[in-house]
Amino acid sequence: MSDDRLTISTVSLANFKQRVLLAASNGRFAAMTAYRNDDQMFYIEVVVSSRSEINLIRASLELNQKNYPSLSPQIPAAIWYEREIHDTYGLIADGHPELSPLVSRPTECFKLGRLDKNDADIRGSKVMGNVRGEGVFSIPYGPVRSGVFESIEYRVYSFGEDIPLVEIRPYYKRRGVASCFEKMTVEDGVILAERVEGTLSVAHATAYCQGLEQLSSTRPPKIAELGRVILAELERIANHLDTMVRHTEAAGQAIAYARLSFSKERIMRLRSLLSGSRFSRGIVVPGGLNAPLALSPMAIITAITDIENIMLSDIEALMTTPSFLDRLRNTGKITVAEAAKTGAIGPIARASGSYEDIRGTRPYGGYRYLGFNLAPPMYQGDALARALVRIEEIRQSLHLIRQAADEIAEINPASLNPESWRCNLEIKDGLVVSSVESPQGELLYHLEVSNKKLKRVWVRCASFHNMALFPTAFKGDILTDFAFIEASFGLCIAGVAG
Amino acid sequence: MPWITRGLRNGIVTTRYPRRRDGYGEGFRGAVVVKGYLSDQASGISSVPIADRSEPGSLQAEHRLARQLELLCPTNAIRADSDVVRVDRGSCILCGRCVAERGDIFAFDPSIEVAALSRSLLFVPELTDLEHEREHLREQLGKKVYSLRRSIYVRHIDLGSDGAEEWEIAALNNPVYDIARLGIFFTASPRHADILLATGVGASNMVDPALRTFEAMAEPKIVIALGTDAISAGIFQRSDPAANGIASILPIDLWVPGSPPSPLSIRSAIFLAVDLLPKAKVKEKERR
Ligand code: SF4
């Protein structure tokens, strides 16, 4: 099997940081977490992904020890992870620039003794210290936003029109996903996975199921893996269209808004025709798909072509509307160096010079049959580049759907019974890191099964990883650009808050 | 400017609902219904053979079946005893397991009019003796919305959703559902809002912002719990800190199950709330 090249190394805490830095110099820091084992010891884990494999580096802390060396000074992408670990377990990263609460409410952290009172009152005080002074004012956006948005609070500290600092408070809508997983059976876990980020149900279900499949060294039938590709690429189109719709809304392009949201609706309807659910829920299951796709390959291609013509011509018209482009150009710029330093993923990274797309670099599932060609990245790193990257990805997705449908037609689905879309999966114990390319970037599922039960499920959503980059995108941008920068990130807050 | 002509290109795509049924609504899983069970008292149809209860062991077999059915559901939405099996739509997340395993008893129904006036009205088949309660609630809501202006303003608030409900609410603005045409608008300001559309499991950190938003609304105000998560937290009932929906935070007028509810269901719920549904439709719904 080609997709589970996972190396697990357990090192001593003294060697931990060195090992991580070494691995990260040949790969990309992808995730970091901590957990408490049955023996009551704390463990720190770092995932480094590279072109060909996934490295899991793990170190244990001595009993009653709460400190470990911070990775953040060398790896800025670790900043948020170390804050999250501090919130959840109270472990302290020595040398971290500011361990302020991220996913927990400040008052909670204070109660748990992880924060002193002053900090609990004024969060981000250290950072704020730098910008406090004459004429600085802070503008809170959220947590109840103006419009139909998920709850999150941005605090923008400004000297006027320029934006020097954005502080992000995602904890409002925290649901406790990790704790919920521990109480699920292996079979039910996929139902929860679909709801971690509700707009990315297919990506999550696939990552979860693929993890179980890797543990038992089983691959679903080819037809099911291809079916997953079709569902996943439709999900990608819907998500990318959604960001485009948000851009048009922010720009007040009423007709473009209507046109693109109409195309998005058609994609959603196609998804529900295929699976019975507008978010393709309940169809991806361990071992394959629990029902055949409800449309024939030919019907899928016809439907796609029908939507494509209108959708792409509308997008083209939008991308030649000067007043619209002016809003995106040079807005929310992330330089190639910044993206590389913070290990950005997904379309955001690909708009800033990165080739990272695991459909191409570490093909999994049905992509192995399809010859996926990585599109060359953009380098401008602004909202416009991100939009162009997404548009190119929509084209690629359409192409992949056609390819997958053709392959399915070759297998001749009509001759198959529903069971041939799914194989029997025997649950096996073990630890696995499963990854898929969600519309927002690499999605990781860290699964541990013991006694055929879910012992630990840790999900690293692309949005969590990329959100840490958000403040970087504000470089003298005027406040009215905020909506564009936010839309161009296309993040799912549910995934950030956990 | 190419946009102006583009706007006219597809002709009318807007759904005719509520005046006419939208064909699409029939295509997907709107809700779970009970087709039949051991006893046909509640449902009227019985596709599962009724055991001869005088036979030894038949009662135990019935209990076993009831227990099996209950265990099928990951969110405890199925309540069965030997006479009747009910689905609590307020807990059902439409995972489809019961339909796949016991297609003789459960089925998906394309209904979009899933909104209910109270938590107990979300059970199917309906709990007995609720006629009075429903009448009463209808009347109350009717009185409440009587004074509403012709245009209705809706404010949304997320109390811990998975993000999908927001997509479906936003879809109401697309040309297919186009609720602005019917005089329903989204507003950023709670002060102008008549309806609060609340989504999510009821995350504890959102309690204060939710109360502030609710208090800022002027009377009369209607709160709609949108989605199974908002009603019962759905699959997140197990989470820590415990969530159990938004009813413990806000007073709910209307309950809309679904994971997430489709835009058609959301629209229909808003119509029901402000009494915009054609009377005939309401009658039909009540008969069911
Ligand atoms: S569809 Fe799923 S959640 Fe709903 S009643 Fe059936 S088993 Fe329970």
Residues B282 and B149 in one domain: yes
Residues B96 and B146 in one domain: no
8 Å CB contact of A253 and B238: no
B199 lies in a domain? yes
- Minimal C-alpha gap between B24 and chain A (Å): 8
8 Å CB contact of B2 and A265: no
Are the CB atoms for B237 and B176 separated by under 8 Å?
Answer: no
**B124 CB within 6 A, ligand 1:** no
Residues B169 and B217 in one domain: yes
Contact residues, A window 288-307, toward B, CB-based 8 Å cutoff: 290
B15 lies in a domain? no
Give the tens place of pLDDT for each residue, A332-371: 899 999 898 888 999 999 999 988 899 988 899 999 999 7
B139 lies in a domain? yes
Return the amino acid letter for A409. A
Burial group, residue B55, by CB count within 10 angstroms (0-12, 13-18, 19+): exposed
Half-sphere exposure of A462 (CA within 13 A, CB side): 28
Residues B52 and B139 in one domain: no
Residues B102 and B238 in one domain: no
**Structural domain of B205:** 131-287
Are the CB atoms for A389 and A378 separated by under 8 Å?
Answer: yes
Ligand 1 pocket test: which of B37, B72, B98 has the largest number of ligand atoms within 8 Å of its C-beta?
B98
B5 lies in a domain? no
B146 lies in a domain? yes
B193: left (phi over 0), alpha (psi -120 to 50) or beta: beta
Contacts of A215 (CB under 8 A, 6+ apart): A427, A428, A429, A430, A432, A447, A449
CATH code where residue B68 lies: 3.30.70
**B75 CB within 6 A, ligand 1:** yes
Residues B38 and B140 in one domain: no
- Is the minimum CB–CB distance between A317 and chain B shorter than 8 Å? yes
**B231 CB within 6 A, ligand 1:** no
**B78 CB within 6 A, ligand 1:** yes
Q: What is the pTM of this model?
A: 0.91
- ipTM here: 0.90
CATH superfamily of A177-497: Cytochrome-c3 Hydrogenase, chain B (1.10.645.10)
- Nearest protein CA to atom 4 of ligand 1, as residue: B92
Interface test with A, best of B155, B174, B187, B206 (most A CBs within 10 A): B174
| Closest-lying ligand 1 atom to the alpha carbon of residue B87 | 5
Contact residues, B window 132-171, toward A, CB-based 8 Å cutoff: 156-171
For chain B, the domain total comes to 2
Residues B156 and B64 in one domain: no
Q: How far is the CA of A50 from the centre of ligand 1 (A)?
A: 40
| Chain A nearest-CA residue for B243 | A175
CATH code where residue B249 lies: 3.40.50.12280
What's phi and psi for B109, nearest 5 deg?
-125, 135
Task: With CA atoms as reference, report the closest residue to A107 among A99, A124, A119, A98.
Answer: A119
How open is the CA angle B39-B98-B127, to the nearest 5 degrees?
45
**B87 CB within 6 A, ligand 1:** yes
Do you find a cis peptide bond into B220, omega within 30 degrees of 0? yes
Residues B283 and B140 in one domain: yes
B210 lies in a domain? yes
Task: With CA atoms as reference, report the closest residue to A237 among A267, A259, A280, A204.
Answer: A267
Regions of chain A short of the pLDDT cut 50: 1-3, 116-131
Are the CB atoms for A318 and A324 separated by under 8 Å?
Answer: yes
8 Å CB contact of A143 and B176: no
CATH superfamily of A5-108: NADH:ubiquinone oxidoreductase Nqo5 subunit (3.30.460.80)
Give the tens place of pLDDT for each residue, A76-119: 888 889 988 988 888 888 888 878 778 777 666 555 555 544 44
Contact residues, B window 90-119, toward A, CB-based 8 Å cutoff: 93-96, 100, 108
Secondary structure in 3-state letters for A293-343:
CCCCHHHHHHHHHHHHHHHHHHHHHHCCCHHHHHHHCCCCCCCHHHHHHCC
**B33 CB within 6 A, ligand 1:** no
8 Å CB contact of A176 and B24: no
Residues B105 and B135 in one domain: no
Residues B87 and B188 in one domain: no
B16 lies in a domain? no
Per-domain boundaries in chain A = 5-108, 177-497
Residues B86 and B189 in one domain: no
8 Å CB contact of B234 and A195: yes
Query: Under DSSP, is residue A221 helix (H, G, I), strand (E, B) or coil?
Result: coil
Residue A108 confidence (pLDDT): 64
8 Å CB contact of B235 and A197: no
Question: How many residue pairs bridge chain A and chain B with CB atoms within 8 Å of each other?
Answer: 172
**B122 CB within 6 A, ligand 1:** no
Residues B96 and B135 in one domain: no
- Is the minimum CB–CB distance between A87 and chain B shorter than 8 Å? no
**Per-residue confidence of chain B (288 residues) as pLDDT tens digits?**
456 667 656 666 666 655 555 556 555 788 898 887 755 444 444 445 445 556 667 777 788 888 999 999 999 999 988 778 899 999 999 999 999 889 889 999 888 888 998 898 999 888 877 778 888 888 778 777 776 667 889 999 999 999 999 999 999 999 988 888 888 899 988 888 899 999 999 998 899 999 999 999 988 889 999 999 999 999 998 777 668 899 999 999 999 999 999 999 999 899 888 875 544 444 445 444
B119 lies in a domain? no
Residue B218 confidence (pLDDT): 87
Are the CB atoms for A444 and A460 separated by under 8 Å?
Answer: yes
| Chain B nearest-CA residue for A322 | B1
